[in-house]
Amino acid sequence: MNVLKFGGTSVGTVESLKNVRSIVETLPPDTVVVVSALGGLTDKLIATAHLAANGGDWKSEADAIAQRHYDIINKLVREENKTNVLTIVDSLLEELRRTYEGVSLIGHLPEKTLNVIVSLGERMSAPIVAGIIQNGHLHNSLDFIKTEKWFDKNIADVSLTHNLILHEFSNIQEGPHITGGFISQDRDSGEITNLGRGGSDYTAALIAAALDADMLDIWTDVDGFMTADPRIIKDAKVLPEMSFIESMELCSFGAKVIYPPTIYPVFHKSIPIRILNTFNPKAPGTFISDSSNSNDYPIKGVTAIKNTCLVKLKGCLTENVAQINTRAYNALARNGISVFLLAQPGENHEFSFAISSSDLSNATRVLNEEFAPELIDGALDSISFEENLSTIAVVGEGIKHLKGINGRILNTLLRNGIRPLASSEGTSDTTVSFVVEEKDTVESIKAIHGLFF
Ligand code: ADP
Ligand code: ASP
Ligand code: MG
C-alpha cells in the first residue's frame, strides 16, 4: 500500500482538489491520504490570532476563512456527505470564533491557544477532502499522532504513535483513508500540539513507516526535487533521483520541499519517497531511495538556511581545540540545540560553529555555564555571537570524489564579491557548507548553482 500526502497548494482551490480527487480515486482502497490545511490557511490563522490579540478586526477575517471552506464544500463535496461535512466544519468554525473572541478579550495569545487555532486548518481540510473522494474514510490524527515535551519543543513520541497507527489502520478495508497532517496531541496532558510548520510530511512518514508502506508519495506544486529553490533559480533542474542521505542533508539545510524529520522514519524502513506534482501528475517526479545514480549528478543541489548565528570561542585553544569543540557541541546537544556547521579553526585562536538564531539565548546561557571555569581562569577569553547570517550548503554523494571543491566554491563566492565568514571543517561525505552574511544569500546560491549546473 502507498501513503500519499497532499500539501496546502494541492488542497487550496476547487481546481487543485479536482486533481487530488482524480489522483486518489484510481488508487487501491487501502491507500492512506494525508492532507494539509488549505493553502495559506495556517499563515492566515496565525495572523488573525495576532490581530485578535492586538484588538484588530478578527471577525471579518474569520468570515473569509469560513467562506473559503463553504465554497469548496458546496462545489465539491459529494451530495451524500454534505450534511455530515457541514456539521463538522460548522462546529470547528464555531470553535475558531470562540477562541479568537477569547484571545481578543484577554489581549494575549498563549502558545497553547495558538496551537488550538492552527490545528483547525487540518481539522477542517481532512473531513472536506474525505467528503470529496468516493468512499473516503476519515481518520482523526489526534487519536494516533502523539507528542511529548522535549525542552521547549513538542516532538513525536514515535513508539506510542507507531502502536496507535497500527491500531487505527488495522483491518482497513473500504477506503481510501484520509487524515489531517501536522496536528498532534500531547500524550500526557491531552492538549493539542503540532509537529512544526510543514509537519504534514512527517505525519505521512510516520504512518508509512508504521504500516510498512511500499511508497511515500509527497504531492506538491513542483515537478520534483530541484537543484535549488525554483523561486530563487528560475532554471533549476528537476532531479530524477537522489538518496535518502542527500535529501536529508538538503532538507535540513533549508530545501523546503520536504520537512526534515520526515525522511528518517521511511529511510529506516527503506520505503522510497516520490516527490510528485499535483498540477502535472504525469511528470515522473523525483525518486528518493537507498541508492542514487550519482554519476548523472554528483552534486544534487545548493540550498540555504537563513537565521544563522555564528558562535565564536576565543582564547589560547591551540592545545585542546578538539576537547573544547566536543564539550561545546555536547553541552548544546544536551540542551536540545543543534549545531549545523563546525567551522575550520581560524586565525587568532578562535573557533566557531553555526546554530539557528532562535537558539541564541539558550546557547549563550549553556556555553557560559559549561565554560565558566575557563572564562574565570583565562583559558578562554570570550564567547561571542554574530547574527544575521546564512548557511549555504552544497550537497551530493559525489562530492567526496570532487577534488578541491571547497576552493572552487570559495573562489566563486569571492569573485562575486561575497566573503564567507566560516566554512565547514573538512569535507563531509555529502555536504560542504559556508556561512555568509544573510544579505548575500541569494547571490551566493546563484553563484554556486551557476558553477555546478
Ligand atoms: P507543500 O505545501 O506541498 O508542502 P511546500 O511549499 O512546503 O509545499 O514545498 C514545496 C516548495 O518548496 C516549492 O514550491 C518550492 O518553492 C520550494 N522549494 C525549495 N527548495 C526546493 C527544491 N530544491 N526543489 C523543489 N522545491 C523547492
Ligand atoms: N499546514 C501546516 C503548515 O502550513 C502543515 C503543512 O502544511 O505541512 O505549516
Ligand atoms: Mg511542505
Average pLDDT over residues 155-171: 96
Q: Is the model more confident about 204 or about 423?
A: 204
At 317 the pLDDT is: 63
Backbone angles phi and psi of 54, in degrees to 5? -95, 15
For residues 341 and 433, the answer to whether their CB atoms sit within 8 Å is yes
* pLDDT > 90 in the chain, percent: 83
What mean pLDDT is predicted for residues 410-428? 88
User: Whole-number mean pLDDT of the chain?
Assistant: 94
Tell me the mean pLDDT in the region 196-208: 98
Choose between 218 and 426: higher pLDDT.
Answer: 218
Q: Residue 261: CB within 6 Å of ligand 2? A: no
**Pairing between β-strand 32-35 and β-strand 2-6 as defined by DSSP bridges:** parallel
- 108 with 53: CB under 8 angstroms? yes
Using CA atoms, how far residue 86 sits from 10, 98, 139, 417, in Å, is: 21, 18, 17, 58
Ligand lying closest to the C-alpha of residue 6: 1
Dump pLDDT digits (tens) for 343-402: 866 666 777 889 999 999 999 999 999 999 989 988 888 899 999 999 999 999 999 888
pTM across the whole model? 0.95
Decide if pLDDT at 34 tops 60: yes
Alpha-carbon distance of 432 to 302, in angstroms, equals: 10
Higher per-residue pLDDT: 107 or 294: 107
39 lines ligand 2 (CB under 6 A): no
What the block records as the C-alpha cell of 91 is 462546529
Whether residue 301 has its Cβ less than 6 Å from ligand 2? no
Residue 140 has a pLDDT of 98
C-alpha of residue 224 to centroid of ligand 1, in Å = 9
Determine the distance separating the centroid of ligand 1 and the alpha carbon of 223, expressed in angstroms. Answer: 10
- The residue-averaged pLDDT of 201-221 equals 98
pLDDT at site 292 = 66
Contact between residue 34 and residue 145 where contact means Cβ atoms under 8 Å apart: no
Band (342; pLDDT cuts 50, 70, 90) = confident
pLDDT digits (tens, 9 = 90+) for 296-323: 788 999 999 999 999 998 887 656 667 7
Of the ligands numbered here, which is closest to the C-alpha atom of 304? 1
Where do the H-state alpha helices sit in 280-404?
321-334, 360-370, 372-377
CA distance 239 to 242: 7
Among the ranges 11-25, 165-179, 325-339, which has the highest mean pLDDT value?
11-25
Examine the pLDDT at 427 and tell me if it is beyond 70. no
Q: Residue 230: pLDDT above 90? A: yes
**What is the position in ligand 2's atom list of the atom closest to the CA of 259?**
8
Q: Quote the ligand 2 centre to 183 CA distance (angstroms).
A: 9
